[in-house]
Structure 1
Amino acid sequence: MQGIPEKKQPDHDAAIASAVRTVSTGQAGMAALAEALDNGLSEPFADAVARLSAIRGRVIATGVGKSHHIGSKLAATLSSTGTPAFFVHPAEANHGDLGMITRDDAVIAMSWSGESSELKGIVSYSKRFAIPLIAITSGEDSTLAREADIVLCLPRAAEACPHGLAPTTSTLLQLAIGDALAVALLEARGFTPDNFKTFHPGGKLGANLTQVREIMHGEEELPLVGPGTRMPEAVMMLAKKRFGCVCVTDAGGRLAGIFTDGDLARSLDRNLSELAVEDLMTRAPKTIGPTTLAGAAMAALNEHHISALVVVEEGRPVGIVHFHDLLAIGAA
């Protein structure tokens, strides 16, 4: 095809050097952005968070070219973290989609140069109806910056493209400032893991955000024995409940220890009929609370190489969660 150079076998070392150069250039851009947030960019960023927190409607992200893709990602991240948002393409906005934007909304317009002509319609619309307009651009004196209520002016970092043409570092900085806005808004709203799960019910993420109390075996299923229980009785409880452990409670119903099938295996050379469960139990077992997330429970099982955790409230066992329970919901 005319204008496209012929394919040739890529050089191994040159490819690696290119990758390192691209990453290094991106790092330099991110460092410049961090420095800007410590200086002139800090106040408009805080103003943007305050303005977006105060709206009653939604955040409308818009942009063309690579900014279109970054804006779509920003809208998705905002929506999934408690700030309702969607993307409106400026070309479609000029052909009727402006009707999707209400006076209760706010617009985030993304353009590296700030001179994207396609944004003219949506910018004019926001000004006409006093819809807050936040610009993300590196063009401090650009048309977009002049029209915006708040300007998040990004540092003019070098692109990783050797010709300085393909958006690379610039899109990285747009992505980063968008994520920074989303996280700041998340924190301002007090967005919790429970809220996060509401918007992410499926897949591994949803499973890991499940609270233990939703999947634990309740008190009626607990393998409980009291103080002074003889080992033959404790072993029968171990076999009956099939959790691989028995909870030992004191006279007040608090967890005093745990006896596991591992403890039994290590004690087969002893005369179990002469022993009480206290003689073999672990006196400081690993426990979790009922609001612990499934992902954290799985991490605890893996860290301590155990198969079950006792769920306690105020020192009293209220449930038990087994490795298989976590696998069943997809937590891993």
Structure 2
Amino acid sequence: MERRMKLLLTALTRTHRSAVCSAQRQGPTSSARGPTSSARCLTSSARCLSSSARCLSSSARCLSSSARCLSSSARGPTSSARGPTSSARCPSSSARCPSSSARCPSSSARCLSSSARCLSSSARCPSSSARGDLSPLREDALIVGSSPELLQRLGSQVEVRTSFITEEEEGAFLRELEPGLKKKRYEFDHWDDAIHGYRETERLSWGAACEEVLNRVRSVAFPEGSQLLGPVHVLDLDQSGYIKPHIDSIKFCGSTIAGLSLLSDSIMRLVKEDAAGDRLDLLLPRRSLYILRDQARYHFTHEILKDEESVFNGQKVPRLRRISVICRNLPDQRAQD
């Protein structure tokens, strides 16, 4: 039994090391939640295996002690002369040991199974991110800034709402947009040099499913009673495309810009027009809604980073083809002033 315990402990340790190495070979995940979740998972697995090791070690000591006890009893009358009570305790103790030991392999097996599932889940993180579909995060984890003061100052003027639309609603937009977009070619220059590798269109009328989503965007993004720009702007970025730093013209757009992100995750960077050291990075997961208001809209340039520059808080975020559906309100007097 002691030999079996040692063999099981060795197998558990080797399997754990192998699983950890396998997960590490997958490379760093671009999912913001991936590293933290994986670390917790591995820590939990290590604790579980450590507990199993202690259990097996304790069982081995128990069995060894029982063997010595029984061996001593078997040596004959001299040993037994020390008293029947001591000898009587030996069988009882020995009987408890196998029972306790039997529980250890069962517990260890459950632990190994749980650890394997956990490591397998962790290893899937990179492949999920490679599809451009990040797992949902807390909203405040999607915005990082050059200083806490800047984050506090712009906190109410910059929003990212994850999973704002469903896969089915995204599909409804794509069914409406793809036929028209496919007739256009990607362009690699722009009249004001703000966009590279893009197709764009404007759309006034939508099907019922898309119109319901757009009404939801308008209700959460714009001030009550705000007059909205009639056509909705649709911008299709090729995987190699990007949007350069710019500020939307105050002659045509008001205080608020709201956009849906389809097909890919991306990073939007905001930089203060007269202080390049003041900046925010926004992680825009697929099917999310971003909102820029007031100072963030008027006094900060915004851009969508190239794929090769698409790094958020130290982690790579693959940029695939991306379609944004953008709503704006009309200019007001305050913006003109």
Question: TM-score with structure 2 length normalisation?
Answer: 0.24
Question: TM-score with structure 1 length normalisation?
Answer: 0.24
Larger of the two Rg values belongs to structure = 2
Higher relative contact order (CA 8 A, sep 6+): 2
Select the structure that is richer in strand: 2
